[in-house]
């Protein structure tokens, strides 16, 4: 499970939910893909970039659909 508040840009994407509530990794990838245009790539931490790459590899079949 992923806690959005541990990843600044993901936390910002959870504007209609509770960013302290753990979410399934597949749901996190869906949020990144759906709202990628709102992600400030300059604010992505190395840790969050690694998370996104891992999510794409594990749940996106190697394709990021943004």
Per-residue H/E/C for the chain: CECHHHCHHHHHHCCCCCCCCCECHHHHHHHHHHCHHHCCHHHCCHHHHHHHHHHHHHHCCCCCCC
Q: What percent of the chain has pLDDT over 70?
A: 100
- The DSSP bridge partners found for residue 23 are 2
Average pLDDT, the chain: 97
pLDDT of residue 49: 98
Q: What mean pLDDT comes out for the span 6-15?
A: 97
Q: How confident is the model at residue 43, as a pLDDT?
A: 96
In a domain, 65, yes or no: no
Which range marks the domain in which residue 55 is found?
Answer: 4-59
Residue 31 has a pLDDT of 97
pLDDT of residue 66: 85
Residue 33 lies in a domain: yes
Give me the pLDDT at residue 11, please. Answer: 98
In a domain, 31, yes or no: yes
| 23: phi then psi, degrees, rounded to nearest 5 | -130, 155
Assigned domain for 64 exists: no
Task: Indicate the number of domains in the chain.
Answer: 1
């Amino acid at each position: 499970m992923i806690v959005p508040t541990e990843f600044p840009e993901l936390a910002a994407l959870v504007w209609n939910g509770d960013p302290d509530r753990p979410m399934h990794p597949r749901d996190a990838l869906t949020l990144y893909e759906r709202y990628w245009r709102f992600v400030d790539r300059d604010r992505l931490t190395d840790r969050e970039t690694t998370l996104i790459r891992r999510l794409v590899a594990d749940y996106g079949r190697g394709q990021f659909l943004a």
